[in-house]
Amino acid sequence: MLETILLIISVLLIAIVLLQGNKASDAGQIITGGNEALFQNMKERGFELFISRLTLVLGVLFFVISLVLYLS
């Protein structure tokens, strides 16, 4: 039962992470300093906020269920 739930959460977590917006437009710009706005404090709103919170919840659930399965 828990294995099935863990599998579903894993697939959902992968899909949600792929749906998240790209924070850095190019990895090369981060190294060379071309993206000055990268570390500015930008608030997430609407759908981005929902996706971020859902990712956090699914990540915590994944960790807890994995730990429970390991200890049992």
Enumerate the domain spans of the chain. Answer: 2-71
pLDDT digits (tens, 9 = 90+) for 12-38: 999 999 988 665 555 555 566 655 555
What is the C-alpha separation between 12 and 29, in angstroms, rounded? 30
pLDDT digits (tens, 9 = 90+) for 3-18: 999 999 999 999 999 9
Q: What is the pLDDT of residue 22?
A: 66
Q: Are 6 and 69 contacting, i.e. CB atoms less than 8 angstroms apart? A: yes
Q: Is the pTM of this model over 0.85?
A: no
